[in-house]
Amino acid sequence: MARNLLQRALRISFRSGIVFSVTALPVCTVRAEDAPTSARIEHGRYLAVAGDCLACHTATGGQPFAGGLDLKTPFGIITTSNITSDKETGIGNWTFQQFENAVRHGKGPNGHLYPAMPYTAYSQISDPDIADLWEYIRTLPPVNHKVESNKLPFPYNIRSLLVFWNLLFFNDSAFVADASKSEEINRGAYLVNGLEHCGTCHTPKNVFGGDTKKTFQGASLQGWYAPDLTNNAHTGLGHWTEDDIVTYLRSGTNRYTAASGPMTEAIVNSTQHLTDADLRAIAAYFKSLPPRTVSPPQPLPASNEQVKAGQQEFVVECSACHRSNGKGISNMIPDLQNNPAINALNSDSLLNIVLKGTEGPATHANPTGAAMPSFGWKLQDAQIANVLTYVRNSWGNAAPAISAADVSKARTALNAQPAVPR
C-alpha cells in the first residue's frame, strides 16, 4: 500500500507539474517543423489557452471542445462547433488547410463563418503558430456530439452575406511587425491583437459593428464596460506600470484593482497561464500606446445632495471592504481612489457590480477569490445612484452623476433582483 500511495503521490505531483509548466514555457520561436512533435503539441496547447478556444467550444455540462454552446446574439443564436477529432461530428476529417482557412480567414467547409469566431483577430496568427495549434487540436480525443449549426433567423442565416461584412470590416492580413519598436513590443502587439483579441471587447464599434479607429479606448457590451486600456491617466492605464499590468493579468489583481465581470474569466482561463515573457510583452505593448486625448471633467462638489447622501451609504455599506478612504486592500479589494474604471463616462460595469455583485478571480498566483456581494436586493435605486455618484466624485475621481432612473434601467436590463419591499 505504501508504495502505491507514494507512487500516486509522485504521479499526481508530476501531473500537476505539467499543468503548472504551461506558465513556464519559453516564448516559442522555434520553427515549427524543426521541433519534435511533442514540443509542438505542447506549444499548440499554450496557444489554445492564449486564444481561449475551450471557453466557447464547450457546451454547458458538455465535453471539452465538443461544441454546442449557444451564443445568444442580437441577431439570433449561434451554436459553437465541435472541434474534437471526431470524424463524423467534429473536425477529424479536416486537413490543416481547412483548419487554417477557418481560424485565420473565417472560411468553413460550408461557407463563411460568423464572426462569432474571432477570425478577425486570429488572422494575425503566424504560420508556425497556426501549424502548432493544429498539431494540438488534432490530439483532442474524439467526442461524438452533433451540433446543430446556426439557428439565426433570416436574413442573418445567409452566410454569403458575410462576404460583404468581411469586405468592410475584416482586414485579412497577417501580423506585420513594426520595425521601429522593440522585439518585445512587437511580441505584445502580436498577442494582444491576435490570439488574446483584446480589442474584441475594449475597442469601440461603429454602427455596423466594425472596429472604429479608437483602438482600446473602452467599449460597452451587454451590461459591462470594457475600460480604456490606453495610457490616459484619468480613464485608462496611465498610472499602471508594466509590473502592474503583468501582476493583473497573472493574478487577476494588483495594487489598484481586482478583475470583475468577463475579464475575470479571461484571466482565469487564459492570461494567468501565459509565460512571464509574454505577459511582459503585452504590458510593454500597452505602455507603448499613445494616451487617449481627453481632459477629465470637474468633480461634483462635496455639497452636492447626491454626493452627501452617497457618502452616508458608503460609510455603512462599502467602507468595511473598501475602507472609508476608498483605498481598499492591495491585491484584493479595489482601490476606488483616482480609479480609471470609476471615472469612465460609461457606468455599465459599476451598476452591474453593485446590483449583482461580482465573483473575484481565483488564480494560481492569487487563489483568494474575494468577491463583492450583490446589493441589488438591499439598496433602492436612489441609494445606489447616490453612492456611485459619491464614489465617482471623491478622492480625485470625477465623472457624471448617476440617477435613480439609470439604476432602474440597469436593474431591468440586467435582470437584477428587485430591492426588497419595506
Partner 1 sequence: MKRRDALKGGLVLLATSTLASIYKPAYSKTLVGGSGLWKAQPPPPLAVVDSSRLVFLTPDEAKLVGAIFDVLIPADELGMGATEAGCVTFLDHQLAGPFGSAAKDYKLGPVVEGLPQQGPQSIATPAEIYRKGLAELNRFSKKKFDKTFLDLDEAQKIEFLKNMENGTIDFETVKSRDFFTLLLQNVREGYLADPMYGGNRDMVGWKLIGFPGAVYDYRDWIVSKRGQKIDVQPVSLLRTA
Partner 2 sequence: MHYKRPKADVVIVGLGWSGSTMAEELTRAGLNVVAIERGAWRETSTSFPTTRNPDELSGSIRKEILQAPVTETYTVRNKPEETALPLRKYHNLTLGNNVGGAGTHWAGASWRWQPFDHQPYSHVMKRYGPKQLVDGLILQDWGVTYDDLEPFYDRFEKIAGTSGTAGVINGVKQPGGNPFEGSRQSPYPTPALARTRANILFADAATRLGYTPFPVPSAMIGAPYTNALGINLAPCTYCGYCQLYGCGNWSKSSPNICILPVLMQRSNFTVVTESEVVRINTSSDKKTATGVTFVDSDGNTGEQPADIVIVATFTLDNTRLLLLSGISTPYDVSSGQGVVGRAFTFQTLSWAFMFFENEYLNPFMNTGALATQIDDFNGDNFDHTGLGFIGGAGIQSLCNQGLPIGMSGLVPEGSPKWGKGWKQAFQKSYQNYAQIQGQGTSFAHREQFMDLDPTYKDRFGQPLLRITYNYNENDRRSGQFIRDKCVEIAKEMGARDVTGVSLADQPYSGYTPWDSSHVQGGVVMGEDPKTSVQNRYQQNWDIPNLFVIGASSFPNNAGYNPTVAVGATTLWTAKAIKELYLKNPGPLVRL
In whole angstroms, how close is the CB of 261 to partner 2 at the nearest point?
Answer: 15
- With CB under 8 A as the contact rule, the residue among 46, 48, 50, 63 that binds partner 1 is 63
Does 290 contact partner 1 by CB under 8 A?
no
- With CB under 8 A as the contact rule, the residue among 6, 12, 71, 161 that binds partner 1 is 71
Nearer CB in complex with partner 1: 177/315 = 315
The Cα–Cα gap between 390 and 131 comes to 53
Binding-site string for partner 1 from residue 165 to residue 184, where x marks contact by CB under 8 A and - marks none: x---x---------------
Does 54 contact partner 1 by CB under 8 A?
yes
Does 420 contact partner 2 by CB under 8 A?
no
Identity of the residue numbered 161: L
Does 276 contact partner 2 by CB under 8 A?
no
Q: Which residues contact 141 (CB under 8 A, 6 or more apart)?
A: 84, 85
Tell me the three-class secondary structure of 74-124, residue by residue.
Answer: CCEEEECCCCCCCCCCCCCCCCHHHHHHHHHHCEECCEECCCCCCHHHHCC
Does 75 contact partner 1 by CB under 8 A?
yes
Does 418 contact partner 2 by CB under 8 A?
no
Find, among 273, 246, 252, the residue nearest to 47 by Cα: 273
- With CB under 8 A as the contact rule, the residue among 200, 269, 374, 403 that binds partner 2 is 374
For partner 1, which stretch binds (CB under 8 A), given 70-78, 276-284, 291-299, 339-347?
A: 70-78
Q: Residue 219 pairs with which residues in a beta bridge? A: 226
Contact 205, 211 (CB under 8 A): yes
CB 121: neighbour CB atoms within 10 A?
Answer: 20
Q: Residue 58 pairs with which residues in a beta bridge? A: 67
- Judged by beta carbon distances under 5 to 8 A according to partner kind, the member of partner 2, partner 1, none in contact with residue 179 is none
- Judged by beta carbon distances under 5 to 8 A according to partner kind, the member of partner 2, partner 1, none in contact with residue 205 is partner 1
What secondary structure letter does DSSP report for 304? S
Nearer CB in complex with partner 2: 363/397 = 363
Nearer CB in complex with partner 1: 70/127 = 70
Binding-site string for partner 2 from residue 304 to residue 333, where x marks contact by CB under 8 A and - marks none: -------------x--xx-------xxxxx
The Cα–Cα gap between 151 and 76 comes to 7
Binding residues among 27-46 for partner 2 as defined by CB under 8 A = none
- Judged by beta carbon distances under 5 to 8 A according to partner kind, the member of partner 2, partner 1, none in contact with residue 405 is none
Tell me the three-class secondary structure of 228-292, residue by residue.
Answer: CCCCCCCCCCCCCCHHHHHHHHHHCECCCCECCCHHHHHHHHCHHHCCHHHHHHHHHHHHHCCCC
56: its cell numbers: 466557447
Does 9 contact partner 2 by CB under 8 A?
yes
Does 141 contact partner 2 by CB under 8 A?
no
Does 209 contact partner 2 by CB under 8 A?
no
Question: 3-class SS at 372?
Answer: strand
Give the dihedral sign, CA 94/97/100/103: negative
Does 54 contact partner 2 by CB under 8 A?
no
Binding residues among 300-339 for partner 1 as defined by CB under 8 A = 315-316, 319-320, 323-324
- With CB under 8 A as the contact rule, the residue among 141, 209, 367, 418 that binds partner 2 is 367
Instruction: Give buried/exposed letters for 84-97 (b at 16+ CB in 10 A, else e).
Output: bbbeebbbeebeee
In whole angstroms, how close is the CB of 271 to partner 2 at the nearest point?
Answer: 17
Contacts 24+ apart (CB under 8 A), 404-407: 404/380, 405/381, 406/347, 406/351, 407/351, 407/355, 407/381, 407/382
Give the angle subtended at the CA of 188 by the CAs of 182 and 190, to the nearest 5°: 105
Does 109 contact partner 2 by CB under 8 A?
no
In whole angstroms, how close is the CB of 237 to partner 2 at the nearest point?
Answer: 22
The Cα–Cα gap between 291 and 139 comes to 43
The residues binding partner 1 (CB under 8 A) are 52, 54-56, 58-64, 69-75, 78, 114-116, 118, 120-121, 165, 169, 197, 199-201, 205, 208-211, 221-224, 226, 261-263, 265-266, 269, 315-316, 319-320, 323-324, 359, 371, 373-374, 377-378, 383, 417, 420-422
The residues binding partner 2 (CB under 8 A) are 1-2, 4-6, 8-13, 16, 253, 317, 320-321, 329-333, 359-360, 362, 364-375, 378
